[in-house]
Amino acid sequence: MAIPSCSTGLDRFERAFPRRWRGARAGLVCHPASVNAALEHASSLLLRSKQVGLAALFGPQHGLLGQTQDNMEEWKGFRDTATGLHAYSLYGAVRKPRREWLAGLDLLVADLQDVGSRAYTFVWTLALCMEACAEEGKGVLVLDRPNPIGGALVEGPVLDPAYSSFVGLHPLPVRHGMTIGEIALYLRDRYYPDLDLSVVPMEGWRRGHDFRRTGLPWVMPSPNMPTPDTALVYPGMVLLEGTNLSEGRGTTRPFELFGAPFAEARAVVRRLEAFGLPGAVFRPASFKPAFQKWAGRLCHGAQVHVADAGTFRPFTTGAAVVKAFHDLYPKRFAWKRPPYEYEREKCPIDLLAGSARLRRGIEEGRGLEAMWEEWAAEVRAFAPIRREALLY
């Protein structure tokens, strides 16, 4: 295994642990990707640690073990055989830790690999943990990790608070360009000012570094995030969850493959090529999902290949894919109806985009360039707020 150029917060846990929390009874918020450079899991490391007494585990969407495949599949708490500790589910009827779950704890340690997109729910699990700890007078310690798609590029739109949901509780650009530790600082400063928050920063990470440049091993943070390539396209291709198009779930290339039974692959690619999307190449593709939308049906569409990660714009690309299918197949294309991620009234596409403007723009035939200019303006307006939280 190559020597990593980056040390995560977990790698630095023993050296950089805050002295004031030494000896604390701690809960750990984690998932399968909560590993150090040697692939040892955070739960094992904290059990051995002399810094804290590990007393409970908490897991986000897809489960502590990554055991739930579907994107809205709930899971229940259980006794973890590896540690002997109770694992509490933060993805189900309860998504914010209950008071009784935090009783007896002094601190929640959060070690979650995010993927750089507002729609990925792990940052909102962290937000609800922060909220609960602020209310109960508990501390939160975030072990920082790389943003796998880099921290230099930011792409809108920014969430309208009227469309707050579990795929976006607070305003952030879709591609936020922040680490999970930086998001924690932003949330503390704006929403949970009374929270006792600490972040163990990384060493060796640079904002322009994607995950491959860190030399760290990639462990799937969720079952449909098999590679760093998936993470790069996800901030835009996740929009397909708000439609009747397959986003490639049930295949080996989720969020890269996309299509529907009613489409014609070459027609889709021709329309996408006409947009002149930077950094993206589309290959006609057909596939049969094993589960989720159109399971067992032959779908036709394309695979998106990122030719230049430096110019690729995932949200713009995802919006173009949705617009292409909408315009080519107006009688067959459809927006997904609620419920979606615990929201029962608003359209899923609006929650994912952060407002109704993308959907309305596509329905009204607006061009992508006009919408892109609006998103860029939102990113510029959010930039000073983001800048206050940056660590690197």
Instruction: Give the amino acid at 2.
Output: A
Residues 247 and 272 in one domain: yes
Instruction: Answer yes or no: do 173 and 245 share one domain.
Output: no
pLDDT of residue 1: 64
Q: Which domain holds residue 259?
A: 228-355
Single out the residue in 159, 189, 223 at which a domain terminates: 223
Sign of CA dihedral 162, 168, 174, 177: positive
Contact criterion met (CB below 8 Å) for 102 and 72: no
Is there a domain that residue 193 lies in? yes
102 and 240 housed in the same domain: no
Q: Do residues 252 and 322 share a domain?
A: yes
249 three-class SS = coil
Claim to verify: residue 232 and residue 170 sit in the same structural domain: no
pLDDT of residue 72: 85
CA distances from 245 to 18, 114, 275, 287 (A): 47, 25, 19, 12
Statement to judge: residues 101 and 235 lie in one domain: no
Listed residues 223, 252, 273: the one ending a domain:
223
Chosen domain end from 223, 240, 266: 223
Cβ neighbours of 235 (radius 10 Å):
28
Instruction: State the CATH number of the domain containing residue 168.
Output: 3.40.50.12170
Residue 241 resides in a domain: yes
Looking at the fold, whether 62 and 186 belong to one and the same domain comes out as: yes
Task: Find tokens 């462990």 and name the residue.
Answer: 219
Indicate whether 346 belongs to any domain: yes
- How many C-beta atoms lie closer than 10 Å to residue 100's C-beta? 7
Whether residue 207 is found in the same domain as residue 243: no
- On whether residue 3 sits in a domain, the answer given is no
Same domain, 268 and 189: no
Domain shared by 130 and 170, yes or no: yes
Same domain, 290 and 319: yes
Full-model pTM: 0.96
Q: pLDDT tens, position by position, for the chain (392 residues)?
A: 668 999 999 999 999 999 999 999 999 999 999 999 999 999 999 999 999 999 999 999 999 999 998 888 999 999 999 999 999 999 999 999 999 999 999 999 999 999 999 999 999 999 999 999 999 999 999 999 999 999 999 999 999 999 999 999 999 999 999 999 999 999 999 999 999 999 999 999 999 999 999 999 999 999 999 999 999 999 999 999 999 999 999 999 999 999 999 999 999 999 999 999 999 999 999 999 999 999 999 999 999 999 999 999 999 999 999 999 999 999 999 999 999 999 999 999 999 999 999 999 999 999 999 999 999 999 999 999 999 999 99
Q: What is the CATH number of the domain that holds 273?
A: 3.90.1150.140
Q: In what order do the strands lie in the sheet with 78-79?
A: 78-79, 86-89, 52-59, 24-29, 107-110, 139-143, 196-200
Structure confidence by residue, pLDDT tens digits, 347-377: 999 999 999 999 999 999 999 999 999 999 9
Question: Are residues 248 and 317 both part of a single domain?
Answer: yes
CA distances from 276 to 109, 282, 334 (A): 44, 11, 25
Domain count, the chain: 2
Whether 321 is in a domain gets the answer yes
Q: Is residue 168 part of a domain?
A: yes
The answer to whether residue 389 sits within a structural domain is no
Is residue 317 classed as helix, strand or coil in its secondary structure? helix
pLDDT of 195-227, one tens digit each? 999 999 999 999 999 999 999 999 999 999 999
Position 376 in a domain:
no
